[in-house]
Structures are given as C-alpha cells and as structure tokens.
Chains A and B, each alone.
Chain A
Amino acid sequence: MGGPHEPMQQLPDITELLRLSKTRAEDGAKPLRVALLADTAPQILASAIRGMARACGVALELFEEFNQTELQVFDPGSDLYAFKPSTVMIYFAGERLADHFCGLKIEERRNLAETFMRNIRQLHGALATRGCETIVFNLTTPRDGVFGNFGNKVNSSLTYQVRMINCELMRYAEGAGDFHVYDLNGLQARQGEALTDPRLYCSAKIAIAPDCTAIVARDLIEMLTVRRGGGRKCLILDLDNTLWGGVIGDDGMERIQIGDLGLGYAFSRLQGWLKQLKERGIVLAVCSKNDDANAREPFLSHPDMKLRLDDIAVFMANWKDKATNIRAIRQVIDVGMDAIVFLDDNPVERQLIKESFPDMCVPDLPEDPCEYLPFIQNLNLFETSSWTATDVERTASYQSEARRLEASEKYVNEDDFLSSLEMRGTVKPFVRFDFPRVAQLTQRSNQFNLRTVRYSEKQIEELAASSQHRTFSVSLQDKFGSYGLISVVILDRQDDAYFIDTWLMSCRVLKRGVEALVLNSIVAAAREDGVKEIIGEYLPTAKNGMVARHYDTLGFTPIEAGRWKLATDDYKPRQCQIAVEREAEFQQTNA
C-alpha cells in the first residue's frame, strides 16, 4: 500500500478497512481531527474512513455521531466541540430527506430546498465561528416514481427539490472558502443501484452499501489531505498510443489516429480532458521516445490535435530513458515526486518508472484507449482545495522557467546570470486580493517552509487585520515573465520580539536571492515598530530538510535546538539582485 498520494487502483475492501481501522496509528504526525455527523447509521462509513486513513498513512482522529447534527453543531458545549475538530463532515442522506418529504404539505414541499439550505447556512455559520471547515455531502438522486419524468416539471416533486438543493449547495460553496461539497451524487452516477442496499437501509439505516464505503472514504481522505499540502500538480504524458493512436515516427502525420473518426475519437476525448486540466492549473509535460521534430509536428500542425505546444510546459522527446528525462523535467517543474502523475500506455515503461520513482503516481491504464479517459477520471487524481488565478497561469510560468534555465546555461558566473534576469520584487502586507493565494501557499508549500503552519483563507484574513501580527507577501518578476506571489512571512509580536510564525517560499525561486530581500523587509518592519529582536524557528517535517540551516545561513544566532535570534539594531541589509518596491506600499497600508 502506498503513501497518501499514490492512487489506490485496488481499494482495500470493507473487511480490510475495518481491520485497519482498529490498528494503532503511527505516532508522530499531528492527526487531522475530523467529525462525521450523519442522519443515517455512520459506523461502517466511519470505520472505512479510519481504515482508509491508515491505509494511506494519514494520521486522523474521527468523531462520529448519529442523528444529532443540529444538537451537536448549535450547542457550544457539545461533545463535537470538546473533540476540537478542524473539519466537520455533514451527511444528510437523500433517503432520510425522502422520509421527511412524505410528511410535508404541498406548499412545504415546494420550499424544501429553501428550508434545507437555510439549515445548511446556519450549520455552516455556527461551525465557521468555531473555526471548523465544513464538508457537506450532496444528495443522491431519489428513485422517485411519483410523477415519473413529469417530476422534472413539478416543483413540489422530490426529484425537483433534490436537484435544486444540489445546485444550491454548489452555489453556496462557490462563495464560501471554508465550505465544501462532497459529490456523493457523482458517485451514485458511477455506482448506480450498488450505492445503496435497501435491506441495510430499512433494517439498520445504513445508507451507503458497505462495498461502496471504500470509495467514499478514499474520496474524503483525498479532500481532507489535499488542503494539508497534498494534491497533484503535474502530469507527464507519453505520446504514441497515449495521446494519439499509432506511432508518429512510423505512421507519420497522415496516419496517426486522432480526431472524430474511429479510435482517434478516444484520444481526442482524452486530449480535451487534459486540456481542461491544464486550464485548471495542472502542468502538462511530454516525455516520449521519439525524434524531437517528429514528436512536435502533430502539436504544431495536425488539425485535430486538441493539445498544442503552448499547452505543454516541458517537452522532452529523445531516445534517452524516461527516468533520465523525468529528472530533466523536474529541473523545471520542481514539485514533489508524489505530486506527479505519469501516463503511458506501455506497461514496461510504467514498471520502470514505478521502480525509479516509487512515490510517483503511475496509473495502470486499461488496454483499450476508449477506456483511458473514464478510467483516469474515476481515479479522482486531481482533488484540490482551492483554485486561484495563479493556477491558471502556471503552465506559462513554467515555460518562462524553461527559458530561464536555457539562459542560465550561457552564464558561468551565478551573479552575472542573476543580474541578467533584471528581477523586480514587491513586498507588501496581505491584501484581500491575495488572501486565496496566500492561504493556498500555506497549504501547499512543503519544502521551503520553516514551520509548515497551514492557514485557511479566513485565518489569513484575520491575520491581515491583527494588530499583533505583521504579514508579508512577496511577488517577483523578471525579464522572462512573472513568478507571481512566491513567498509569505507572518510575524507574531511576542513581548519585545517578532516571532517568525511562517516563512515559506515557492521552490521556483530558489537561488534568486529572495530570502535576502525578505529578511531585509522583516528587519525594516521590526525597526519601524521598535522591535529589537527577531526569533526564528525550524520545525522539521519529512519534506522541509532544505531549510534546516536557513537561519544559520542568514546570520541568525542559535538560542536552543531549532530556535535562532537576530538583533535588529546591528543588522546590515543583505545584498541581493532584486530591485525592491516596498516602502511606499507599507507606509500607505499602515497609515
């Protein structure tokens, strides 16, 4: 069984999950604290979630409660709050709603969606004030034969109201950063009748058939872990018989299969979906054994190709082995191995990649290209907890990075190269426009992250307004393009010192001198506030080894294990090759 990021193509069955749920979690990692509130019997689903967390190596504490959702959420002294959950999952079953619906008058039936959503808003409001995130399961589509298809025209039918509710949940979630929807209805579309066993529902109020709980549990664990820095960010693609049918080097442009006809349509559909992933912010790279010119030709001039060269961040077509090429791709796209998915029709290549990079996600594609797309869609590999403008720009920014890399090879001297980049940096306190990106960085940055504290958008907003804190967001651009917002610092005033609560940076700007720029800004801010000392702390994780000596490198003095200090009085601003735009903004926003 793999780590949290390896997709489990063969999910453990419920018996195995039950067994795992009773094993002890490994000590160490701070557990996710999650509650499941349901109006149907939650025990089997809860066991599945616990078992799946163990199977994925995720530390998780789960609190479950049956039929007490409102009581637990609206009572500040409830067991729920004593448990201190960070996320509360609310599962109102469609079956229960159908029971409730029977007893309503026609007028009340027409208002069901409105009544339901009012309750949801109140539940979410109460949870939000307690700092909990909310995940609500949407409703399964009822087997509602009362009106037949005519029910779609009758607003007092259950079908009509359930679909309204599902739409309203999406609309509400769109405007609330800490409110998420689990798409149980989407799972029902794939599982159909298998999702519910009417015998278990009638006799034990078990709404999700035990055999399906593994999938629900897998999905929920993905949703819960992705906001703690998980999430896949890059998809590496083979070409021949993966993106099109046939072999471009042998068959040539005229005979590769792509387009609306025959098997080509399967590849067109896949490409259309990949293009959407790219637009969402998943970075696409090509890794293919081909002559470079041959491999590029369809992207340049085949009329039926949906993917074009500018959709691909890094294009590696040569005769080297794929592991070597993947290492080269990661020179540009420096995400963790566990954030990469590798798509290749050839089982031999897949096996080699699995052996070379055990953390990488390598789905075993079915043999029939028509099945590629539904197969990979069902794996739900690209769960995310946010979506910002930066995501959309990501491919372009990696393309700039590839050009930078090319340019850097011309310079022997690092300083000459940096100076040739003509970098400009902006340092400013968190502003509303940046809250989503700042929160996302705290959730996703794992490597250059001194204390790995995760913040929600709402918490970022609170920090921005707090008089006890100073916040810094750093953006960088150079002659090749913008890197966007790439570094975040949060200072916490503790007596006469500023404690560095958060210092993180995107690895895309390593070795650019951003740390020096940031430290200069931190000290300048401290001096403005008359603060004499800066305290830094390093909390080691499995991934942040690269910053273990961060504070030593920047001239801090060790106090004790994992803690350093810096006196602001005798600090001399550090040299860096980035032109700064800072003071003006600071004074404005703090005025």
Chain B
Amino acid sequence: MVTGQDTDAVWSQLEGIFREVMDDPGITIQETTTASDISRWDSITHVLLILAVEKKFKVKFRTTEIQSLQNVGELVALIRSKRS
C-alpha cells in the first residue's frame, strides 16, 4: 500500500537529494521537471543523482529503467514501484 503521506515523503527526500547533488538549495522539483530545467543537471550529476536515489531509497534500478526516464514524475513512480 502506498499512501499519500509516503508519496509526500518520497518527494521531499528526492528534492533533498537534488539539492545536495546539484549543490543548489533553491532547487524545487515537480512531476514535469526535466534536466533542461535545472542548469546543473548534466551527465555527471545525473549519474550521481541516480546512485544517491538508490542509496537513499534502498532500491536498485535496471539500466533500461534509468534510460527510459522522461521526467521527475517518472522517477518518483519508479521509486514507488520498487518500494511497494
């Protein structure tokens, strides 16, 4: 069961990871956020972001899953699907 509260926690934790990896406390994320919206979201920070997400949520992504992500909303959905 995934409750709304769980989802909120995922969002805020994920936002924390974005801020830390991109080294920018002003970052906010939404369902539709993509790499083009965040200037420091480049190939390096992308790798570090994914690894940090795996560590934080104790999940492991497959390469195809990582490659098919279109935006932050899909990342959250992926995290939720791995944890449920």
Contacts and interface: CB of A to CB of B under 8 A. Distances in A.
Contact of B51 (A19, A22, A47, A211): A211
B63 A203 contact: yes
| Interface range, A side | 10 to 19
B52 A199 contact: no
Quick one: which of A15, A22, A204 has the most chain B CB within 10 A?
A15
A47 B44 contact: yes
Interface in B7-26: 20-21, 23
Nearest to B52: A15
Interface string B13-53: 00000001101000000000000000000011101100110
| Interface range, B side | 10 to 19
Nearest to A41: B43
A191 to B, nearest CB: 15
B63 A18 contact: no
Contacts of A47: 44
B51 A210 contact: yes
A18 B47 contact: no
Interface string A11-26: 0001100110010000
A500 interface: no
Contacts of B62: 199
Given A14-B48, A15-B48, A199 B63 contact: yes
A52 to B, nearest CB: 16
Nearest to A200: B47
Quick one: which of B51, B52, B67 has the most chain A CB within 10 A?
B51
Interface in B47-70: 47-48, 51-52, 61-63, 66-67
A44 B51 contact: no
A199 B66 contact: yes
Nearest to B45: A18
A78 interface: no
Given A15-B52, A199-B63, A199-B66, A206 B23 contact: no
Contacts of A199: 61-63, 66
Contacts of A206: 47
A47 B47 CA distance: 13
A44 B47 contact: yes
A44 B45 CA distance: 9
B23 A18 contact: yes
A14 B52 CA distance: 10
Contacts of B67: 203
Interface in A1-37: 14-15, 18-19, 22
A14 B55 CA distance: 13
Contacts of A22: 23
Nearest to A43: B44
Nearest to B23: A19
B48 A210 contact: yes
Nearest to A23: B23
A337 to B, nearest CB: 34
B66 A44 contact: no
Nearest to A197: B51
A102 interface: no
A412 interface: no
B47 A204 contact: yes
Quick one: which of A22, A199, A210 has the most chain B CB within 10 A?
A199
B21 A210 contact: no
Given A18-B23, A211-B51, A44 B63 contact: no
9 contacts: A15-B21, A18-B23, A18-B44, A43-B44, A44-B47, A202-B63, A203-B67, A210-B47, A210-B51
Interface of A: 14-15, 18-19, 22, 43-44, 47, 197, 199-200, 202-204, 206, 210-211
